[in-house]
Amino acid sequence: FFINKTAIFLLSQTLICLSVTLSLKAWSALQAGGSVLDAVEKGCARCEADQCDGSVGFGGSPDERGETTLDAMIMNGNTMEVGAVGDLRRIKNAIGVARAVMERTDNTLLVGESASVFAENMGFTAEDLTTNKSISIFTQWLKDNCQPNYRKNVSPDPSQYCGPYKPGATLRQKRKRQIDIHAHDTIGMIVIGKDGQVAAGTSTNGANHKVPGRVGDSPIAGAGSYADSTAGGAAATGDGDVMMRFLPSYLAVELMKTGTDPSTACKTSISRIKIHYPGFFGAVICANTTGHYGAACNKVPGFSKFNFVVYNSKTKSPLLQSVDCF
């Protein structure tokens, strides 16, 4: 299952994700005898290479210094093992590094420069993640006085000026969050194998113009995605800084474990966030081990419908689905 305003889900061999192309790549991995983890990795890796929607992979979402960094995670629903990377620099294949963290260490999450050094030691190629497009985005942002940005309670006034910033004299009311439905996307995938094994994964280059060092929800188990072979899987997309506070993917899977249908589980996860942040941008997709699936999204200006892709042994081809936001 992929998320990026589109998703994919595989079951019995089934897959849910956000892209037809990625679903084909993941499905091919399963048909070739690969594991559900192989399918998640290959599907997300394809999106990273293709720079899906500009929100995944190299050359997108430059931070305040103009650098693109990547977040990714993969989860094994049989063993509950997780591998993840955040603020990854110089390495294009973030999902591959995340899997290496899971399979080559006893750790769960590596971040920043140390994660990049680990990747290089594991044989991943160091490359410049900057492109002409990302340079253009960054240059225009500087011309626009660094608007929008994610700073608050600092000096000079971040709503009018660029940094460097220092702490403001007083803590004022929080700034009104500006919603950009193209600034927070993630690719998410849930794969359910023919024997009921569940795997999930995510990959993203984060939020446009983020504060350097920022890590979003995508590499956080239970936030970006979650898998449990006794119940199913879930993945989320949207404003990660808000969504990670509520672990929507974990909540959805736990609800499915008690018998809640996937659509209701997704909607409940979204509703929990709406109580505190009614104007947040986000969506969740869910699939259980019986092959049922669903999705839910919060309705905001410019985002009234969420699209995802389902691929399973019944459809035998990518099937585009959509759900109305509420």
Active centre residues (catalytic): 186
Closest residue by Cα to residue 242 from 154, 297, 177, 148:
177
**DSSP H or E run through 268:** helix 262-276
Q: Is 180 annotated as a binding residue?
A: no
Annotated binding-site residue? 86: no
Query: What's the DSSP call for residue 56?
Result: S
Tell me the residue length of the chain: 326
Of the candidates 101, 208, 197, the residue with the CA atom closest to the CA atom of residue 150 = 208
Q: Which of 83, 96, 90, 149 is nearest to 122 (CA)?
A: 96
Whole-angstrom distance, CA of residue 298 vs CA of residue 283: 6
Phi first, then psi, for residue 35 (nearest 5°) are -85, 170
Tokens of 318: 């990518």
Residue 113 near residue 141 (C-beta atoms within 8 A): no
214 is in an annotated binding site: yes
Q: Distance between CA atoms of 214 and 315, rounded to whole angstroms?
A: 39
CB atoms within 10 A of CB 233: 37
239 is in an annotated binding site: yes
Q: Any known ligand binding at 96?
A: no
Q: How far apart are CA 153 and CA 253, in angstroms?
A: 37
Answer yes or no: is 237 a known binding residue. yes
CA dihedral (267, 271, 272, 276) in degrees, to 10, reads 160
Cβ(127)–Cβ(58) below 8 Å: yes
Which amino acid, one-letter code, is at 195? D
Annotated binding site for substrate: which residue ranges? Answer: 214-217, 237-240
Annotated binding site: which residue ranges? Answer: 214-217, 237-240
